[in-house]
Amino acid sequence: MTRLLVECTHVFQHPKVNSGIQRVVRNVVNQLPESVDGVECIPVVMLKGKLYRVLKLGALNIPLFDQFMMFGGRLGRLAHRFWQWHQRLDKRLTSRLARRVVYVAYQLTALTCFSVPLRLIDQLDQYQLPKRCAPLQHQPGDQLVLLDSSWHTDFFPFAEQLKREGVGIVSVIYDLIPLTHPQFYDTRLVQVFNEWFDWITQTADGYVAISATVRDQVREEVQRRLGSAKANALWFDYFHLGSELDLTDARSTVDPGLLQMFKTPDPVFLMVSTIEPRKNHAYLLDAFERAWAAGSKARLCIVGKIGWKCEALIERIRQHPQLNLRLFMFNNLSDKSLEHAYSHATSLVFPSYVEGFGLPLVEAMQRGLPAMASDIPVFREIGGEYMAYFDLSDPQNLADLVIDMESGGAFPAPLNLDNWRWLSWREASAQLVERIQRNLHSDTKVPESQHANCP
């Protein structure tokens, strides 16, 4: 029997993180079927050159221990930012002596403030491992499915060893945006991602993207890096993501500010995303300022954690004359609060420049909330004629859609959302397994596209 070893190392090590890829990995693993048509599915992690079967992906919910782990995660991220600061400073210094002094200061600070505490936390972490995972022996013919964001990890040499010992490598690709649009990311992340993708092209036997759009981009990039002959020996496929909000807790309460916002009847247009340049929140503000100037009473509600390269945008929001009147921002909503927002808003608005999928669109539409989005190929793949689209070159285009919907009451999409359906996370997990299996064991031609309402 073929075994799919579905890797989830980063989420296993950071169980409290709940952004895009982490949400996907957690849901796919938690809904992973034990077997599909003779294929056994095993969630695994790779830690310190060893393979483990995952027994519990989430945290153990031991308050003091969880706090230590959360502190360790924050300290690790702070250590990385400190390293980045040192790298930037080192490049600016021209004096050899100054660079040496800064280097010594960096090493001493890193050792005392980061390395020693992180090692202690790592030792503490070792005590809880047997409750969350168990050693697993790999076998020739196993397929290691790199589902998680593996550019964060250090298991590359171990994965190469597994391949030499007969284990196939399948890479799940979420997007190639750091390669195609590097302006949206820090230089170091672009470099890390590029190095990771170089490793993937040399190591993987097959690729599964999260949309047909990304699959085609991956095939082109692999062909560019390896040449057509080597690329044609590999396989390329995709699956679609599910839509449930799995962390909704019936015992939790909805954010009071959110409840207050929805008490008045004026329409609410919802944007759900980490706040960072690629998501194009500035376009939203431009469009709604035009709508407000034309007399619109529509409100814009921005939901999402504050990310990177957005200082000017955040300041613009916090100083905006419409803040808490027609403009609202929530940076730390629970899944229950997000569910409430999806259920009570008038429409989702999503002006992203580029995406691998666009999970909030599916989350919203699956709950009956219509969506307006930028007119890019992957959104057409997801929404088809059930969504409304606007031109990113002119904010007035979105402003007109908002005003027309507010005055006419009808959502400006050709097809009624009542007839739209999407995958559950259980169906998405099964689809991932089935498509990997199809490429491993069948000569069946993979469909070139899959459209909305046809999962």
Would you say residue 450 has pLDDT above 80?
A: no
Same domain for 352 and 447 = no
Q: What is the model's pLDDT at position 454?
A: 46
283 and 400 assigned to the same domain: yes
Residue 77: what pLDDT?
66
Q: CA-CA distance, 352 to 192, in Å (whole number)?
A: 23
Q: Residue 306 pairs with which residues in a beta bridge? A: 275
In a domain, 132, yes or no: yes
Report the CATH number at residue 227.
Answer: 3.40.50
Together in a domain, 41 and 180? yes
- Whether the pLDDT of residue 348 is over 60: the answer is yes
Q: Rounded to an integer, what distance in angstroms lies between the CA atom of residue 404 and that of residue 377?
A: 25
pLDDT band at 444 (very low <50, low <70, confident <90, very high): very low
Q: What are phi and psi of 270, to 5 degrees?
A: -105, 135
> Where do we find the tokens 């790199």?
146
Task: Say whether both 266 and 195 belong to one domain.
Answer: no
Q: How confident is residue 150, by pLDDT bands cut at 50, 70 and 90?
A: confident
* Domain-embedded: residue 250: no
Per-residue tokens: 239: 């699956």
Question: Are 340 and 354 members of one domain?
Answer: yes
**Burial letters for 297-306: b for 16+ Cβ neighbours within 10 Å, e otherwise?**
ebbbbbbbee
pLDDT tens, position by position, 9-40:
988 887 776 677 888 999 999 999 888 888 89
pLDDT at 62: 64
Residue 246: pLDDT band (50, 70, 90) is low
Closest by CA position to 213, among listed 18, 379, 54, 327: 379
DSSP assignment letter at 40? E
The answer to whether residue 5 sits within a structural domain is: yes
Q: Give the pLDDT confidence score for residue 146 in this predicted structure.
A: 97
Does residue 274 share a domain with residue 196? Answer: no
The Cβ of residue 432 has, within 10 Å, a number of other Cβ atoms equal to: 29
Per the model's pLDDT, the better-predicted residue between 36 and 356 turns out to be 356
DSSP 209-241: ESSHHHHHHHHHHHHHHH-HHHHHTSEEEE---
Domain span including residue 228: 1-242+425-455
Tell me if 391 is assigned to some domain: yes
In this structure, what CATH number is given to the domain that contains residue 302? 3.40.50.2000
- Predicted local confidence at residue 117, as pLDDT: 81
pLDDT, residue 119, reads 77
Domain count, the chain: 2
Contact 334, 247 (CB under 8 A): yes
- Mean residue pLDDT of the chain comes to 88
Select the more confidently predicted residue: 449 or 61.
61
